[in-house]
Amino acid sequence: MMDCAIKIPIITIDGPSGVGKGTISALLASHLNWHYLDSGALYRLTALACVMQDIPFEEEDKVAKIAENLAVTFLPQGATLLQGQDVEEQIRTAQAGVHASKVAVLPKVREALLIRQKAFLQVPGLIADGRDMGTTVFPNASLKVFLTASPEQRAKRRYKQLIEKGNSVKIADLVEEIRERDERDMNRSASPLKPAQDAHIIDTSELTINEVYQSVLQLYDAVR
């Protein structure tokens, strides 16, 4: 019998924080007119919901329940609603990133979010941005990309973004924070941050956003 199931194309963009995954993924999604999964936002929202409900990050069962029942809506104009309230700015702070990384070590939380992440896979295609998109969530992706850059380079980029938004920060603090987050994301037992065996690794340290974007498009042209 013929297999009539449609294979929806997926490009996974994984890598550590501050490497430009979000920017590259958004460009690709807009160019291809595909759906976009910002998986980090789900961890950030889970952590924020815990803070709002006074649930300590160590209480795995309770945090997993929160993840399972997260009432979230991503609006096309960039707003992110948690229980109807726009929390986009709240989930993008450096502290929200650290909190997300803490709930992300909990296997039950990852399991609860796995189902939600898979639900983003819809025609005509999906750009999935995160840490374990190519290894765990979409192991059959059409193309897997893993972006890297040194902690110093990533801290410089983050510094520029934060200063432009009017925040006052020190580069040395950002390097330290990035190192700590990498350490936690790479060394957790559940779905640690690492490239899939069949991922294309791109070191973005000396590349512009456009150069990275063009490289990914070329890679996709070669596999589709």
- Give the contacts of 37 (CB within 8 A, at least 6 positions apart): 117, 120, 126, 127, 128, 129, 130, 133
Please say which residue, 39 or 213, places its beta carbon nearer to ligand DC.
39
**19 scored as a contact of ligand DC (CB under 6 A):** no
Tokens of 143: 């193309």
Please say which residue, 118 or 224, places its beta carbon nearer to ligand DC.
118
Alpha-carbon Rg for the chain in angstroms: 17
Q: How far is the CB of 178 from ligand DC (least distance, A)?
A: 10
**44 scored as a contact of ligand DC (CB under 6 A):** yes
Give me the 99-118 binding string for ligand DC, x by CB under 6 A, dash otherwise: -xx--x--------------
Beta strand 143-148 with 85-86 is unpaired
Please say which residue, 131 or 144, places its beta carbon nearer to ligand DC.
131
Among 24, 181, 199, 212, binds ligand DC (CB under 6 A): 181
Please say which residue, 73 or 224, places its beta carbon nearer to ligand DC.
73
Residue nearest to ligand DC (CB): 40
Q: How far is the CB of 222 from ligand DC (least distance, A)?
A: 25
Name the burial class of residue 4, with classes exposed (0-12), middle (13-18) and buried (19+) by CB atoms within 10 angstroms of its CB: exposed
**80 scored as a contact of ligand DC (CB under 6 A):** no
Beta strand 85-86 with 72-74 is unpaired
Among 9, 20, 97, 134, binds ligand DC (CB under 6 A): 97
Please say which residue, 42 or 216, places its beta carbon nearer to ligand DC.
42
Beta carbons within 10 angstroms of residue 208's beta carbon = 10
Map tokens 């329940």 to a residue: 65
Which span sits near ligand DC by CB under 6 A: 38-46, 50-58, 162-170, 214-222?
38-46
Q: How far is the CB of 107 from ligand DC (least distance, A)?
A: 11
Q: How far is CA 68 from its chain centroid?
A: 18
Which span sits near ligand DC by CB under 6 A: 59-67, 130-138, 158-166, 212-220?
130-138
Nearest-angstrom CA–CA distance, 164 and 209: 18
Query: Considering only CA atoms, which of 51, 49, 33 is closest in space to residue 41?
Result: 49
Q: In a 3-state reduction of DSSP, which class is residue 124? A: coil
Provide the binding-site residues for ligand DC, judged by CB under 6 A.
17, 39-40, 43-44, 97, 100-101, 104, 130-132, 181, 185
